[in-house]
Structure 1
Amino acid sequence: MAFVITEEERAARSQRACDAAVAAATGLGLDASEAKILYDVFSVVVDLAPSPVVARVPVVTPRGITSTGFQRTELAVSRWMASRGEPTVVPSALVPAEPVERDGFTMTYWEKVEGVLPNDYDAVRRMPAVARLHSILAEYPGETGFFPGMQGYVDLAFDDLEGREDLLPASDLTRARAEWAVLSPIVASPSAFARAFPGVPVQVVHGDAPFYNLIETADTVLYSDYEHVGVAPVEWDLAHTGEEAIASYNAAAVDLGLRPVDIDVLRAMERLRDLQMVAALAMVPQLPLLADGLSSSLQTWRATEPWQHGNASSK
């Protein structure tokens, strides 16, 4: 088997990221003498106690993707949301709201949210908040990409999976490449999407399972994690949430003056998310826990009919 990071190496990487966040924060005038790691998967999240600041340090990113552009988008969207008085996680006011580079890492600093409740990841219950977020983001005036990161990310990941039978059987990769050849034109440009789905509008959307990225306290529900904000159909945010969640979204959308979910677009977005998941296997050498995390989704994808031209209703 080719290189896969060991648990000791992963822990060392996490500590380096934490040390970099603390050093950069100290250089910016914060007291981070009681810092501790809160979370460590794709990013290392560091509580910079006693300062009321949390650092997020990406440590695992797809080949061809640089964190800085996504971080700038996230900071810009969160500042805009806050300027409108919307409930959102915001950049810390104690340091400049821009990505900070230190010791090979690029990080952002956020206001610490106290009293966070356990996340139940209930998509049905949270869909009204997702619909409201779409109504807000539809007015976002900033520049964002169209399905940001998908084209280069998937192509490079599939190249990296070539010959890696330990990560993905060759038959699966062949199927994934064939499906991507059919679906990739849809995400190439707004005009290409419009040709595939005439009359279905696109707008600025969250881009990364917004129902999953809500932060709840006893007093409020906060929107968060805007790294993947971009122009897409709203269905991109709703893929694989289930029929009850879609019904919940549609009910809220009516009240907000939004369009209901287009089922053909939803199916296409779900298959694109499947291919995004397959591509994520290329990051397993950097993040071995992904293998188990993706296993169920991979099995579900294998059980579907291969996507073909004109197959918008494939399930």
Structure 2
Amino acid sequence: MGSTVVSVITEEERAARSRRACDAAVAAATALGLDASEAEVLYDVFSVVVDLAPSPVVARVPVVTPRGITSAGFQRTELDVSRWMASRGEPTVVPSALVPAEPVERDGFTMTFWEKVEGVLPGDYDAVKRMPSVAHLHSILAEYPGEVGFFPGMQGYVDLAFDDLEGREDLLPAADLARARAEWAVLSPLIASPSAFARVFPGVPVQVVHGDAPFYNLIETADAVLYSDYEHVGVAPVEWDLAHTGEEAIASYDAAAVDLGLRAVDTDVLRAMERLRDLQMVAATAMIPQLPLLADGLSSTLQTWRATEPWRDLPSP
């Protein structure tokens, strides 16, 4: 059954959404006793990030989320992991100590409040250079004691997104959707549970990982490199964090991993994780009506995926 056609948000509607999110953050901050009289929006893509000046606090307000995903659960994970990282003395963004470290609901938005990081430098996003930091993060997260899911959000997210893309050739050609569904049918059982993964890749351990391109989500200042964005932390093989970073980056990771007593990257697992990431990006086209700039952002990824051979079966254990 095809999905109901959803109109694409206009630039005026997007700007209005951003203003509403900012206003909600200011209202929530004010209710919590902060002075946010000079607030301004710093960033607006999947989340609206608001500098609550003159208070040294930044609000993060999700405005674009996949169908079936609720922000609050992921936000609690992010807050818990960041506090735990800080308790270990690791360089990380931290929740603001000026308000309770919990998601806050206001005017239809759910938001979190963070200590403002001063002096942020432009990121060069060099995966090769940043891989030692990723390996170190994996060595720390392997000890995280909190409860997190196995590939959290992937199962429901991809299935619902593909359903929403039925009949939406303005978003994704039918042939692409058919191929993506076929590949997902092969690969999704792999990430249904740790035991399912172990049957295909026996001896390859899983652990708590960042879940969302940790090399990209580093915040650099003149004095530190901070880990950030733990919303998608979950249990998976480390290769989930390393997909599509390139051979040089993998070599850089392996060199750092050896020094930390971690295992080297398994190339078969990496290939499977890269195709799962491809399907995650295909599914993301369902969010284009909410975030039109995704169309351009996903274009090269989809072209690269189309040029690959379709994934037909899992490797034999």
Matches within 5 A, 1:122-141: 122-141=126-145
Partners of 1:260 and 1:47 lie apart in 2 by 40
- Per-residue CA deviations over 1:152-208 (Å, capped at 9, x if unaligned) read 000000000000000000000000000000000011000000001010000000000
Provide Cα deviations, 1:67-97, integer angstroms capped at 9, x if missing partner.
Answer: 0000000000000000111100000000000
1:244 is matched with 248
CA distance in 2, matches of 1:310, 1:294: 26
Match of 2:280 in 1: 276
Matched, 1:92 2:92: no
> What is the aligned partner in structure 1 of residue 148 from structure 2?
144
Q: Determine the structure 2 residue equivalent to 1:64.
A: 68
Distance in 2, matches of 1:7 and 1:311, equals: 46
Q: What corresponds to 1:261 in structure 2?
A: 265
In the alignment, structure 1 residue 301 sits paired with structure 2 residue 305: yes
Name the CA distance, whole Å, in 2 between partners of 1:85 and 1:132. Answer: 13
Which of these residues, 82, 86, 94, is aligned with residue 82 of structure 1?
86
CA distance in 2, matches of 1:311, 1:12: 49
Cα RMSD (Å): 0.8
User: For 1:221, which of 220, 225, 228 is the aligned residue?
Assistant: 225
Matched residue of 1:276: which SS? helix
Q: Percent identity?
A: 90
Q: So what's the TM-score if we normalise by structure 1?
A: 0.98
What secondary structure sits across from 2:60 in the alignment? strand
Measure the CA separation in 2 of the matches of 1:132 and 1:43: 27
- Once the 2 structures are TM-superposed, how far is the Cα of residue 310 of structure 1 from its aligned partner? 3.2
Q: Amino acid of the residue matched to residue 189 of structure 1?
A: S
Q: CA deviation at 1:278?
A: 0.2
**5+ residue gaps in structure 2?**
none
* 1:201-220: CA deviation from partner (whole Å, max 9, x where unpaired): 00000000000000000001
Offset of residue 311 of structure 1: 5.2
Contact 2:200 2:314 in 1 (8 A): no
SS of the residue corresponding to residue 37 of structure 1 reads strand
After the TM superposition, list the runs of 4 or more consecutive aligned residues in structure 1 that deviate by more than 4 angstroms: none
- Whole-angstrom distance in 2 between the partners of 1:266 and 1:183: 13
Structure 1 residues 271-290: Cα deviation after superposition (integer angstroms, max 9, x where no partner): 00000000000000000000
Query: Given the alignment of the two structures, is residue 187 of structure 1 paired with residue 162 of structure 2, yes or no?
Result: no
Alignment of 1:165 with 2:169, yes or no, is yes
CA distance in 2, matches of 1:266, 1:310: 13
Which of 1, 13, 20 aligns to 2:17? It is: 13
State which of 33, 41, 45 in structure 2 corresponds to 1:41.
45
Aligned partner letter, 1:221: V
CA contact (8 A) 2:187 2:314 kept: no
Q: Which residue of 1 aligns with 2:117?
A: 113
2:208 is paired with a residue whose SS is strand
Specify the code of the residue in structure 2 equivalent to 1:110. Answer: W
The count of corresponding residues between Structure 1 and Structure 2 is 312
> Matched residue of 2:43: which SS?
strand
**Displacement of 1:2:** 4.2
Distance in 2, Cα, partners of 1:227 & 1:281: 20
Alignment correspondent of 1:4: 8
Q: What TM-score results when the alignment is normalised by the length of structure 2?
A: 0.98
Name the structure 2 match of 1:196: 200
The letter for the 1-side match of 2:249 is: A
Distance 2:23 2:150 in 1: 35
Letter in 1 for 2:7: F
Per the alignment, residue 59 of structure 2 pairs with 55
Secondary structure in 2 matching 1:192: helix
